[in-house]
Amino acid sequence: MTENQVPRINITSPDMNAERLAELRRIMPDLFDGDGQLDEAAVRQLFPSEKIRGIEKYRFEWVGKQESKHRAFTPSRATLVADKGRSVNYDQTKNLFIEGDNLEVLKLLKSTYFEQVKCIYIDPPYNTGSDFIYPDNYAEKREAYWQKSGIIKDGVKLVALAETSGRRHSEWLSMMQSRLYAARSLLREDGVVIIHIDENEGHRLRILLEDVFGNTNFLGEIIWDKRNPKGDSGKVSYQHESILLFAKNLASFREHNELTVPKRNAEIMLKKAAHYFSFVGQKIVPPRVSEALSILGLSETKDYEEEYTLEDANQDYQKWLASQGTALSGGEAAYKHIDDEGKVFQTVSMAWPNNKQAPREYFMPLQHPVVGKPCPVPAKGWRNPPGTMKKLLNQGRIVFGVNETTQPRRKYILEENMSENLASLLY
């Protein structure tokens, strides 16, 4: 290779349509006729108990949908060309930046990254009219759109009022659909796709993603409050955008992942609780007394000292929590207790969560450790079976009230729960 030659990476994109058809022919050869063509009647006979539905069905359609889906699985004629001149540490780098039409690039990556990618994040054009237009998403002329949608046939307009508002949405959906199918093939079974969008196409994108990934794989929608309302006159002023999350396979995703985020204030809370707990058993001027003396302009002396108890530590810690206001999330503020080992914890109901009652064995009462009498059982039973309840009891993870009249609750320790579920609101 001469100095002026550009190195090319020999990657070819597979013909996914041909591969899928070949796989179907391999496992179900009886579905094909003597000429090797798929027999529609044979396919229908696979479901003899199913009624063949008419044209009235729930589905998401737009002009160009089938062509767009087909485009996602056709092989690419492009190739990847290495650009050493613009690269940094070309021979040692572990990162790859690819410039090009993203549909063609996604197809080329299938050869190397098929079902290998953990997470795909997409920030697509919002289709506001000023977005960058992709080569396969050019703005069609009205006549071309009418011809494709059946409004015009052989040059004759079939309806009096030809619809044009759907043209922009159809082109955008077609552009997105082909790329989503191509991207899906790169995801691992436990992978996830995350897409950022605004109100212009958000609701259509949600349905499109359900088409491509299946509605059972929807993980949720996060609302990002940008704190900056748009200046639209006469309408609701949008100040948020949406982030949609879909798993490739929900069961696999749940097996290997958790949608949690670190509790932002957990470390501060632990340090504050440890500070108060460090005084337990010592003779000091309690913080609440010290504060009162300061207000009265009096000096602290040994006369005001008293033994600092665990109850004092809890009172001071809870007072500090209250002073934080909205700086703490609800999940964080719930950890408002300090135990006799200095651990921060919260208590949670152990009641059976479902509408129907729990099995009979889930109604076994717990004996109060001090008074020795049975405590109340939740109306629908305990959340856990007797074996688990006994284990929790032996581990000191069940908190009782002052007497047997209070229903016991489960103890959760903050240090063991430093993360919380991903919330649907982002500020």
Instruction: Report the distance separating Cα 206 and Cα 297, nearest Å.
Output: 63
What's phi and psi for 73, nearest 5 deg?
-110, 0
| Residue pair 74/181 in contact by the 8 Å Cβ criterion | no
Which phi and psi (to 5°) does residue 192 adopt?
-140, 145
Q: Which residues pair with 243 in a beta bridge?
A: 196, 222
User: What's the Rg (C-alpha) of the chain?
Assistant: 32
How far, in Å, CA of 322 to CA of 336, rounded?
Answer: 10
Q: Which two tokens stand for residue 395?
A: 């581990």
Judge residue 146's burial from the number of C-beta atoms within 10 Å of its C-beta, 0-12 exposed, 13-18 middle, 19 or more buried.
Answer: buried
Residues found in the chain: 427
Query: Rounded distance, CA 427 to CA 424, Å?
Result: 10
Residue 423, C-beta contacts closer than 8 angstroms, at least 6 positions apart: 222, 261, 329
**Minimal CA–CA distance to 103: which of 127, 138, 60, 137?**
137
Contacts of 1 (CB under 8 A, 6+ apart): 7
Say which residue the tokens 């103890």 belong to.
411
Query: Domain ranges in the chain?
Result: 9-89+96-257
Q: What per-residue string of b and e applies to 83-121 under the rule 16 or more CB within 10 Å gives b?
A: eeeeeeeeeeeeeeeeeeebbbbbbbbbeeeeeebeebe
- pLDDT by 10s per residue, the chain, length 427: 444 455 555 566 777 778 888 888 888 887 887 677 788 877 777 776 655 555 567 889 998 899 999 999 999 888 888 888 899 998 888 888 898 888 999 999 998 999 999 999 999 988 876 544 444 433 455 556 555 555 455 554 444 434 455 677 888 999 999 999 999 999 999 999 999 999 989 999 999 999 999 999 999 999 999 888 887 668 888 899 999 999 999 999 999 999 999 999 999 999 999 999 999 999 998 877 888 888 998 888 888 889 999 999 999 999 999 999 999 988 899 999 999 999 999 999 999 999 999 999 999 999 999 999 999 999 999 999 999 999 999 999 999 999 999 999 999 999 999 998 898 998 8
| Cα distances (Å, whole numbers) of residue 130 to 133, 228, 306 | 9, 20, 71
- Whole-model pTM? 0.70
Q: Choose which CATH entry (3.30.980, 3.40.462, 1.10.730, 3.40.50) describes domain 9-89+96-257.
A: 3.40.50
Whose CA is closest to 380, among 405, 353, 404? 353
Query: Under a CB-based contact definition with an 8 Å cutoff, are residues 175 and 69 in contact?
Result: no
4-to-1, 83, 165 alpha-carbon distances in Å: 8, 12, 50
Q: Reduce the DSSP state of residue 324 to 3 states and report it.
A: coil
Nearest of 135, 121, 244 to residue 183 by alpha carbon = 121
Residues 6+ apart with CB under 8 A from 281: 307, 308
Euclidean distance between CA atoms 368 and 378, whole angstroms: 15
Q: What is the DSSP string of 61-72?
A: --TTHHHHHHHH
